[in-house]
A and B are shown apart, each in its own frame.
Chain A
C-alpha cells in the first residue's frame, strides 16, 4: 500500500499528461454528434443511409487489393483488418519510430503504400486514400480516443497545443475562442461545437463528400481567413495530436456525418 502511494506521488511529481490542464474537463466532452439536428443524427446512425459507409465499403476492397511493384495488398501483411486494425485509429497520430515524424493515419497509409507496396502514393483527399483511412478508422468505431503524448510525441503535442491557442487570420481568432470558450452558443443559425476530431474521416454536407480531419482543419483556417497550409503540413499532424488528447475518451464515430 505504501509502495503504491509512493508510486502515485512519484507520478504526480513527474506530471504525466493526464494532469495537464484541460479547458473542457473530460466529463464535459461532447462529440460533434451532439450538435447535429435530429435528421443528421439519424443519417449518421443509419449504416445504410450514411453516405460515408460507401467509402468504408470501397476501403474494404482496397485493403484486399494487390498494389505496386511488391504486388502486395494491405491484407498480405496486416491480415484481417477487423482484428489487426481494431483500436489503431484511436491511438493516432503516432510518432514513427524510425524517422521521428508524427504520422496521421493518412500519412501512415501513404508510407506503407510507398515503402511496403512500392506503389505510387495516393493523392491527399483522393477517393482511395479516404476510403482506406475510413476503413481503417471504422475498425475502431465505438472505441475511446487515447493518443499517446509522452516521449517522442511530446514536442509534437506542445507544438499542437501552441497552434491551438495561437491567433491567426484576418479575424484574429484562435481555436479556443470558438471551441473552448464559446461551444454550445450560436453563431447565427449554427451551434458551435467543441471541435472534436472523433468522427473523421467524416461525410460533411458542406463538402457533399467524405473528407479528412486535415480538410476540416483547413476549413477552419479558411473560416478565420488565415493562410491555408498545404495538405500534409506537419502543423496539421501536431494539431491533430493535441485534438486527440483533448478528445481523450470520446468514441470514434467514423464515418461521422457533419454539417
Chain B
C-alpha cells in the first residue's frame, strides 16, 4: 500500500495552495464475484483525513462510489510552516499515513 501527496514546497502566508493525494487501494465494492462465483467482501476506504499542524483541513467519508486508487484534490490556506498528515482507514481496519512539509514565508 502506498500513497502520495503533492503540495508546493513553499508558499506565501495567506496563499491558497492546492493539495493532491493519491492512495493505492483496490476499493473493492462488495458487488463482485471471484472466478468460483464466491462474493468478494467489500473493502473500501471509509475515511480520509488531512490534518495540517494538528488541525483538520479536509475530511472525507467515502464509499464504493469512489474509484479504485482514490484521487483527491482540494485547497488549503497556507498560514504557517508545518506538516500535512494524510491518514486513512478501510473496512478491514487497515490504516495508512503519508506526510508532506510546507514552508510558509512572509
A and B: direct contact (Cβ < 8 Å)? yes
Interface residues of A (CB under 8 A from B): 48-49, 51, 54, 57-58, 208-209
Contacts of A48 in B (CB 8 A): 4, 6, 20, 22
Cross-interface CB contact of A58 among B2, B27, B71, cutoff 8 Å: B2
Cross-interface CB contact of A209 among B4, B68, B71, cutoff 8 Å: B68
How many Å lie between the Cα of A51 and that of B25 in the bound state? 10
| Pair A49/B68 contact, Cβ less than 8 Å | no
Cross-interface CB contact of A51 among B6, B20, B69, cutoff 8 Å: B69
Cross-interface CB contact of B20 among A49, A54, A208, A209, cutoff 8 Å: A49
Interface residues of B (CB under 8 A from A): 2, 4, 6, 20, 22, 24, 26-27, 67-69, 71
Closest Cβ neighbor of A55 among chain B residues: B24
| Pair B22/A49 contact, Cβ less than 8 Å | yes
The 9 closest A-B pairs by CB, nearest first: A208-B68, A51-B69, A54-B24, A48-B6, A49-B71, A48-B20, A54-B2, A57-B2, A58-B2
Identify 28 residue pairs between A and B in the complex whose beta-carbon atoms are under 8 Å apart, listed by A's number. A48-B4, A48-B6, A48-B20, A48-B22, A49-B20, A49-B22, A49-B71, A51-B22, A51-B24, A51-B68, A51-B69, A51-B71, A54-B2, A54-B4, A54-B22, A54-B24, A54-B69, A57-B2, A57-B4, A58-B2, A58-B24, A208-B26, A208-B27, A208-B67, A208-B68, A208-B69, A209-B26, A209-B68
The tally of CB-CB contacts under 8 A between chains A and B is 28
CB distance from B27 to the nearest CB of A (A): 8
CB distance from A46 to the nearest CB of B (A): 9
Contacts of A54 in B (CB 8 A): 2, 4, 22, 24, 69
CB distance from B98 to the nearest CB of A (A): 12
With most chain B CB atoms within 10 A of its CB, the pick from A57, A208, A209 is A208
How many Å lie between the Cα of A177 and that of B24 in the bound state? 37
Contacts of B20 in A (CB 8 A): 48-49
Contacts of A208 in B (CB 8 A): 26-27, 67-69
How many Å lie between the Cα of A230 and that of B67 in the bound state? 29
How many Å lie between the Cα of A209 and that of B27 in the bound state? 11
How many Å lie between the Cα of A54 and that of B5 in the bound state? 12
How many Å lie between the Cα of A48 and that of B2 in the bound state? 13
Contacts of B27 in A (CB 8 A): 208
Contacts of A209 in B (CB 8 A): 26, 68
Contacts of B6 in A (CB 8 A): 48
Closest Cβ neighbor of B68 among chain A residues: A208
Contacts of B24 in A (CB 8 A): 51, 54, 58
How many Å lie between the Cα of A209 and that of B24 in the bound state? 10
Contacts of B71 in A (CB 8 A): 49, 51
How many Å lie between the Cα of A49 and that of B71 in the bound state? 7
How many Å lie between the Cα of A131 and that of B17 in the bound state? 31
How many Å lie between the Cα of A49 and that of B70 in the bound state? 10
